């Protein structure tokens, strides 16, 4: 996934990798006058060295939302858990900014809602509209948020006894009994189970022979920014989802929702990051939106864009070769997600619930951590369904936005009309 922000007019120029590399902690391997080799992993298989060891039940690699949630739930059950991430605080980023009803339910099921609540702004009703008028007003339990606030809020409220280390895991060796991780400070961790929650980083999975299968390259281009009404009076909606007319604009929809006291905007598109539209949008966002989404101003009169524009190019993928002893891959490390679907956190929390509530407690009761135990996680019907739904929604949303065949246009029209009718019936009941 490429991400960036608007300081350069060409999105490509603004691009940076998702996980900026840390400077090496150790001296260079060829430095002289040292008692020991500067890099204790050099020459070892998978970079592993037999150095100071530390034993836990579960080692979680990656403290994004998936890893932090999994570590919190397992530590809450009294397991010995180590949570690793080189970044002591999750950095500002453009990722999940809305929590959907199913995700709020899973947060409660996992016992994480109280810890994350301070980062959530409640949304009670979503107004959906297009050029021809209001589609529906849907009462809802939704929340606006900023992903880094959500993760850092949870990290700050982890159960006592959960050990966090601000370190990158560099090497991994697995077996049906004990797993070994080597860390960047030269120490080693042994665990009965390793949870890989490394997001887009493939490094450790690759060491185990797992590979990433691309499902859809450059699937979408998505933008995040703040808007405000020029007159300062506020908007006449809690949250708004606005849809384009037809397929010519290559837009999915615009979503406006509150985060704290501000109005955040997520614009989901299928534009080319290097194309003329993306450049025009970066240069003159409000004007370009009004041209591409006629009728928007009726619902958001006189709005202006008040922040830099953040953007992300979305790639869809799945990991393969993942059924292996001793290790489980969760969250974005397992499968990519398209933001328009609002299913990223559903996958994250479903993975965590399946792993931590349904699997790990029974796995740890008996010796060994063979591939047959691990396979039960990936085959769990609710996990399979959630992952499938996420991918299907990504393709459905893209076809609705781009496919000009009469079938898809009829589907799009039917979808809007059925929502209109359902909303009308609810209101008049
Ligand atoms: C633009 C955008 C908008 C989105 N909007 C939504 C939305 O509205 N709703 C929704 O549900 N989903 C949304 N998503 C998806 C959602 O953000 C992701 O599914 C979710 O953040 C994945 O969390 P994760 O913990 O798996 O990965 P991440 O948050 O990427 O965490 C991975 C962590 O692993 C660490 N790490 C990597 N390698 C190592 C290593 N070797 N050792 C130790 N640590 C390591 C990294 O430092 C990082 O902290 C959006 C995504 C994007 C890109």
Mean pLDDT of the region 398-416: 94
Which residue's CA is the closest to the ligand 1 atom numbered 22?
Answer: 332
SS3 (DSSP) at 29 = coil
Report pLDDT for 202: 96
CA geometry: angle 62, 65, 67, nearest 5 deg:
35
CB 278 within 8 A of CB 292: no
Mean pLDDT of the chain: 89
Residues with CB under 6 A from ligand 1: 1, 19, 61-67, 84-87, 90, 94-98, 147, 168-169, 197-201, 203-204, 222, 312, 331-333, 337, 339, 342-345, 348
The dotted CATH code for 27-99+146-214+318-394 is 3.50.50.60
d(CA 215, CA 351): 20
pLDDT exceeds cutoff 80 at 39: no
Residue 393's pLDDT band (boundaries 50, 70, 90)?
Answer: very high
Which residue's CA is the closest to the ligand 1 atom numbered 45?
Answer: 62
Kindly state the helix (H) or strand (E) to which residue 375 belongs, with its residue range: helix 371-378
Locate the DSSP E strands across 145-285.
163-165, 169-173, 179-183, 188-196, 211-229, 239-242, 251-259, 262-269
Which residue's CA is the closest to the ligand 1 atom numbered 30?
Answer: 199
The string of pLDDT tens digits covering residues 260-314 is: 999 999 999 999 999 999 999 999 999 999 999 999 999 999 899 999 999 999 9
Mean pLDDT of the region 36-65: 61
Report pLDDT for 426: 74
- List 312's β-bridge partners, or say none: 3, 222
Q: Enumerate residues 6+ apart whose C-beta is below 8 A from 23.
A: none
pTM: 0.89
Report pLDDT for 329: 98
Report pLDDT for 11: 33
Beta strand 133-144 with 327-329: parallel, antiparallel or unpaired? unpaired
The string of pLDDT tens digits covering residues 139-194 is: 999 999 999 999 999 999 999 989 999 999 999 999 999 999 999 999 999 999 99
Which residue's CA is the closest to the ligand 1 atom numbered 49?
Answer: 64
Name the phi and psi angles at 323, rounded to 5.
-80, 95
Token reading at 345? 């956190």
Residue 2's pLDDT band (boundaries 50, 70, 90)?
Answer: low
Report pLDDT for 53: 60
- Measured in Å, residue 64 CA sits from the centre of ligand 1 at 6
CB 323 within 8 A of CB 372: no
Report pLDDT for 232: 73
CB 144 within 8 A of CB 98: yes
Q: Give the CA dihedral 219, 330, 349, 359, nearest 10 degrees.
A: 150
The string of pLDDT tens digits covering residues 57-107 is: 999 999 999 999 999 999 999 999 999 999 999 999 999 999 999 999 999
Token reading at 227? 């808007």
The string of pLDDT tens digits covering residues 204-243 is: 999 999 999 999 999 999 999 999 998 777 899 999 999 9
Mean pLDDT of the region 340-368: 98
CB 221 within 8 A of CB 87: no
d(CA 195, CA 192): 10
Domain borders along the chain are 27-99+146-214+318-394
- Measured in Å, residue 103 CA sits from the centre of ligand 1 at 15
Of 120, 125, 108, nearest to 144 by C-alpha is 120
């Amino acid at each position: 996934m490429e991400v960036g922000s608007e300081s350069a007019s060409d999105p490509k120029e603004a691009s940076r990798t998702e996980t900026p590399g840390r400077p090496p902690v150790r001296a260079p391997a060829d430095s002289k006058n040292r008692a020991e080799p500067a890099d204790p992993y050099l020459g070892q298989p998978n970079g592993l060295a037999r150095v100071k060891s530390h034993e836990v039940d579960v080692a979680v690699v990656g403290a994004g939302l998936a890893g932090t949630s999994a570590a919190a739930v397992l530590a809450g059950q009294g397991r010995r858990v180590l949570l690793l991430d080189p970044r002591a605080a999750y950095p500002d980023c453009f990722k999940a900014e809305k929590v959907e009803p199913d995700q709020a339910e899973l947060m409660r099921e996992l016992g994480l809602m109280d810890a994350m609540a301070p980062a959530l702004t409640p949304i009670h009703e979503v107004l959906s509209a297009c050029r021809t008028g209001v589609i529906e007003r849907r009462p809802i339990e939704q929340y606006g948020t900023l992903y880094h606030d959500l993760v850092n809020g949870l990290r700050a409220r982890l159960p006592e006894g959960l050990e966090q280390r601000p370190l990158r895991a560099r090497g991994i060796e697995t077996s049906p009994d004990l797993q070994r991780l080597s860390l960047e400070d030269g120490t080693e961790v042994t665990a009965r189970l390793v949870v890989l929650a490394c997001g887009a980083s493939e490094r450790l999975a690759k060491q185990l022979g797992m590979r990433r299968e691309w499902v859809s390259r450059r699937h979408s281009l998505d933008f995040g920014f703040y808007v405000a009404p020029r007159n300062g009076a506020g908007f006449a909606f809690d949250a708004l989802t606005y849809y384009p007319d037809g397929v010519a604009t290559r837009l999915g929809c615009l979503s406006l929702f509150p985060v704290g006291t501000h109005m955040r905007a997520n614009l989901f598109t299928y534009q080319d990051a290097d194309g003329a539209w993306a450049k025009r949008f970066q240069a003159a966002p409000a004007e370009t939106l009004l041209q591409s989404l006629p009728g928007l101003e009726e619902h958001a009169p006189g709005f202006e864009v008040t922040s830099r524009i953040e953007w992300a190019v979305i790639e869809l993928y799945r990991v393969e070769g993942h059924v292996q002893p001793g290790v489980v891959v969760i969250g974005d490390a397992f499968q990519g997600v398209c933001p328009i679907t609002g299913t990223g956190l559903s996958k994250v929390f479903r993975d965590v619930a399946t792993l931590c509530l349904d699997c790990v407690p029974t796995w740890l009761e008996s010796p060994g951590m063979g591939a047959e135990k691990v396979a039960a996680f990936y085959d769990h019907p609710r996990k399979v369904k959630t992952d499938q739904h996420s991918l299907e929604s990504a393709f459905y949303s893209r076809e609705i936005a781009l496919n000009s065949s009469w079938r898809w246009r009829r589907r799009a029209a039917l979808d809007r009309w059925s929502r209109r009718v359902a909303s009308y019936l609810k209101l008049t009941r």
